[in-house]
Structure 1
Amino acid sequence: MDQLAAMRAFVRVVEAGTFTRAADLLEIPKPTLTKQVQALEAHLRTKLLNRTTRRVTVTPDGAAYYERALALLNDLEELDGSMTLSQASPRGRLRVDISTSLASLILIPALPDFFARYPDIQLDLGVTDRSVDLVGESVDCVVRGGDLVDPSLVARRIGDIHMITCASPAYLKRYGEPVHPRDLEEDFPTVRYFNARTGRFLPLEFIRDGETLESAGRYMIAVNEGNAYVQAGLSGLGVLQAPTFMVQEHIGAGDLVPVLTSWTTDPFPVFVVFPPNRHLSNRLRVFVDWVADLFADNDLIQRRSRLAARGG
């Protein structure tokens, strides 16, 4: 029995929740993975997993073994990295998840620079606005805006994103321009954004002279993806409150017009988030440092933030 391979198989089954999913993540046949776990249980003379037709659960012995095995495998990866050239030239695959707008407008255009620095890293990029199970889906890190909802995760704050309220010229011609946030609850339709996982609608927030208002806003359409949200605004379907980096080009082209400019919003943070109980591999560490520098120096973020601070 290859004990290290069996330990990796067992750890992946625990994290994925099923043998099928674990085999896919490890890119090995399911029967091979099953034999590895069975061999490990025979070697340890204890049952590590309870198997059902739908899901795998961990026995008390299995939970204890998982914690020790995970720590050992992480230490082994760090040891391998310290004894090779990986410190200077990290290599291997990274699974990163990021929202659609941050991917298309910020991250992907900058990736040639990343790969020029680290040509031996292979990036598997998940692009979605939905919440991701980092452990269960074997994701190394996610880049997300907004407050953290899981305090058990490890996060590094890499920047802030400012919002701006705007509407299309066609919308303004039809409805006129709102003069107060409360107008959005009566005579001025909005485009609403809702969380893909919870279905919760995000409120429209307005701040002026120490006063903070949250508007529900009546709407004709609500979406759960950033690019579709902006497109709905461009199509004249409502007032929208969007990250400045997503709409500035449209504002510059005259396809969107800032409204309610005497009101501002609080910026929201952007984090790189890691699974708990994981050491950062060299390849993950250099990616996190690189993406933090990207957000700190990216003109699309910084210039748009200044625009929002001026109110348009």
Structure 2
Amino acid sequence: MDRIEAMRVFTRVLERQSFTLAAEDLNIPRSTVTDVVKRLEQRIGVVLLERTTRQVNPTIDGDAFYKRCLSIIQEVEDAETAFSGAKPKGALRVDVHGTLARHFLLPKLPQFLADYPEIEMFMSEGDKLSDAVKEGIDCVIRVGAIKSVDLIARQIGLLEEITVASPEYLQTHGTPMRLNDLENHKMIGFRATGSSVAMPLEFASDGSLINYSAPVSLMVNSAETLVTAARQGLGIIQVPRYHVEQSLRDGSLVAILECYPPEPSPVSVLYPRNRQYSARVKVFLEWLSTVF
């Protein structure tokens, strides 16, 4: 195994914090991974990784070497792609919520994979951003304002938000025409990961944004459950329009307070701060921008 491949093995071990998981990612025996790292440490004369029974962590020298390896690997991949004209190839690990994937990505994904047939994509549906770095995810796609010290966020689109309720709910409680009418209404609360309270309803009025928290009939943490509960007449919700397009068409949900639209939600792609993304990630990010 040449030095560049050895660097790829080392960086994967560090990112996955496991020799076994790195071996699975790279489709090589665990013994080969162990041997590569051992020879690498012998060649440069320093200990790169601290090994325990549960985890692998970088030493100070290992962390510095990891950053240099990322830069070198990126330069080599860019050079090979630029001069050979070869298309990007290899494993591409993406994490995206299922509703986003099913509505935006999957319908157009066959063309992307046809354009780049040697890219092997793995698509997961996680929840915690911190897991993305540990699990070796190349990029994460999320909706909303995202803050993370480990990930760099790049906005790739905006999603129109809409306020809706079921006809049965509106028949019972009345249809609100103004924001003051919300005093007699209930909402289905959506609780984001890491929060203990429901997100308030948001309305634009006279150039300002107004947050309103109505009494909560039910608290959920899943967008699909939120929409289903609204169709059952349990209260008012706000979601990106694409979530409820079918329900609006079949009449199971009705748009309300359209004169007070919520602010659009940003769609962002996030990737590890200390990892320069490869050519295959670059073409995927370019494709995402066209998708959204």
For residues 142-173 of structure 1, give each alpha carbon's deviation from its aligned partner in whole angstroms, at most 9, with x where no partner exists: 22221231266444322211111101112223
Aligned to 1:205: 202
Residue 39 of structure 2 corresponds to residue 42 of structure 1: no
Aligned partner of 1:156 in structure 2 is 154
- Structure 2: distance between partners of 1:198 and 1:214: 17
Please give the alpha-carbon distance, in whole angstroms, between the structure 2 residues aligned to 1:202 and 1:130. Answer: 18
Q: What is the letter of the counterpart of residue 290 of structure 2?
A: D
Is 2:265 aligned against 1:268? Answer: yes
User: Structure 2 matches for 1:106-121, cutoff 5 A?
Assistant: 106-121=104-119
Distance 1:197 1:14, change over 3 A: farther
5+ unaligned residues in a row in structure 1: which ranges? 296-312
- Equivalent runs, 1:86-105 vs 2, <5 Å: 86=86, 89-105=87-103
Tell me by how many angstroms 1:12 deviates: 1.6
Counterparts of residues 1-312 of structure 1 (less than 5 Å):
2-86=2-86, 89-131=87-129, 133-150=131-148, 153-181=151-179, 187-198=184-195, 201-295=198-292
Q: Secondary structure at the match of 1:135?
A: helix
Matched-pair identity in %: 38
Asked if the contact 2:95/2:123 (under 8 Å) is kept, the reply is yes
- In 2, are the aligned partners of 1:96 and 1:142 still within 8 Å (CA)? yes
Give how far 1:243 is off. 0.4
Distance apart, 1:97 and its partner CA = 1.6
Q: Aligned-residue CA RMSD in angstroms?
A: 2.5
Alignment check: 8 A CA contact 1:6 1:37 kept? yes
Q: Structure 2 unaligned runs (5+)?
A: none
User: What SS does structure 2 have at the residue aligned with 1:94?
Assistant: strand
Shift of the alpha carbon at 1:132? 5.3
Query: Aligned-pair distance for 1:211?
Result: 4.0
- Following TM superposition, by how much is the alpha carbon of 1:194 offset from its aligned partner in structure 2, in angstroms? 1.9
The one-character-per-residue Cα deviations of 1:87-116 (angstroms, maximum 9, x if unpaired) are xx3333321222222111111112233234
TM-score norm. by structure 2 comes to: 0.88
Deviation at 1:72, TM superposition (A): 1.4
Alpha-carbon distance in structure 1 between the residues aligned to 2:128 and 2:48: 32
Moved more, 157-166 or 272-281: 272-281
Q: TM-score, normalised by structure 1?
A: 0.83
Structure 2 CA distance for partners of 1:280 and 1:171, relative to 1, 3 Å: same
Amino acid paired to 1:195? A
- Any conservation in 2 of the 1:95–1:124 contact (CA below 8 Å)? yes
Q: State the distance in 2 between where 1:169 and 1:130 align.
A: 35
Contact persistence 1:167–1:234 (CA under 8 A) = yes
Taking a change above 3 Å as real, the CA distance of residues 28 and 118 of structure 1, as seen in their structure-2 partners, is closer
Alpha-carbon distance in structure 2 between the residues aligned to 1:131 and 1:221: 26
Task: Output the amino acid matched with 2:265.
Answer: F
Counterpart CA distance in 1 for 2:13 and 2:92 is: 19
SS of the equivalent of 2:193 reads coil
